[in-house]
Structure 1
């Protein structure tokens, strides 16, 4: 938080890429890397969804950190003994310091760690999911969807840029604003963009084209957190998502699509924001609500045409070891 005004995100990411040709020194290899995420984090949740949609679970195994952290790092407190069973570390910070002993930037998720060295390769969340589509294609499941098709990339990029600026990061700019003026500017910009997105989605089932793309993944991870966290905790309270009919139906449509809602852990989401952000919520009390059952209500979006995957197929059932507990997600109840 900036006590004097507007919130600015630290965007100094490790931009090394894992590519099919290994041009950065890190070739795509099944099983060589570990995707470290927290289900609480919207940026990491993008990677969880894309990995599942593309069927990369075996090629790119996943480590799930706990929903809370201190000033040092995300921790592996969900694992036996508090250590990731593959990397053998208690804190994600250890993998960052293995890469650079003088590392002084954010210890963020998602992060991809090279298991052979224990070093973080990349935490560039925007690039990670694009590379899953383009560079990891040899390991996609049969029937995997094209989330970043060549003919639509310019439009997807344009939508993503606006959504990131005003929505994905916009909720943080409101929540972490250090002045009334900065908060009101961020709040106004956020809801102006949500209104534009409602207009766009009024007659179109998805943001770009007739199937799910990278753009839908990026918007969904903010919308699914909106009523549970951003409306109250970040003071984005002009309207709840459930009070915005088009976006609410769109979000439910995606939530009920295999690969989206089945990755969401509402308990982790709420515990992260309300416990970690003590400057905003000093008591650390986690709200009991909202009711989650309405995520399963009919959405009637199919009448707009289009299908989630077009000629592709939905992903299969979630592997038992990656399933979200039923108490944390109405799909798993």
Structure 2
């Protein structure tokens, strides 16, 4: 990534001097090119858009108040990511890790019709589809796997493999030794090797193509709206999984997923309508539900899909949280 100094010249030095004198507009101009990457970094660290918002706000306040600590010898980018990383590490220590239902226990073989939300779990949250340095770095499986790492390993891995900082830079950023950084990265890689699919979604999605992806998502929506079990099952892989945070139960394999679909979303949940979306650099669909015979369809869940090379759906994660819709610029209801 180009250094912020180069991005902002010839005004960088002038804005830096103004910001040090208390000009908040100048400070805003300095950090503007890095707001998106910083927010994405906070999300990777924390697994939550809400927490990432808090972390970024806190980090920028810290940076503003401590601007005298940046002497201009290194890149502003490195300095800001240092502040953001340390802010996130504080939050990781205070709030713990985010989870998906698969982290809580084994899959259910039959539909749990009396499933109840768990409010004692900090659930992983989906991320609005934005341009990232590496789109695979915000894929849902990668973000979920990161949550299994201690904070220092998480930070070292992301700074090295996603953001491209050298081990010596990371050691300075985390106030540790190069050896400790290299050890943290090696341990993180070993943990992620068992939890992240060997092939990320991005190459698969590129091979499938945008037109075919839109057809798959539209077919899913049509099957759900029409209560067509055969059409839905035809879209799924044999080893498909379906989870619905904050509901704790999840389903693995076509028989269990089919049983769940037949007993709940296809028959017992009322009427459905849908809007196409994207989350975590993956195809997604916003689901709106109407329980009765009349009235609008209300925001219900954001379904994020993982696809296989043949275009079938290998994983559905349905985030049942109407608050997600506002973050994605989606309406709260459909007339």
Instruction: Tell me the TM-score range normalised by the shorter chain.
Output: under 0.3
Q: TM-score, normalised by structure 1?
A: 0.27
TM-score norm. by structure 2 comes to: 0.27
Computing the radius of gyration over CA atoms, which structure comes out larger, 1 or 2? Answer: 2
Determine which structure has the larger strand proportion and give its number: 2
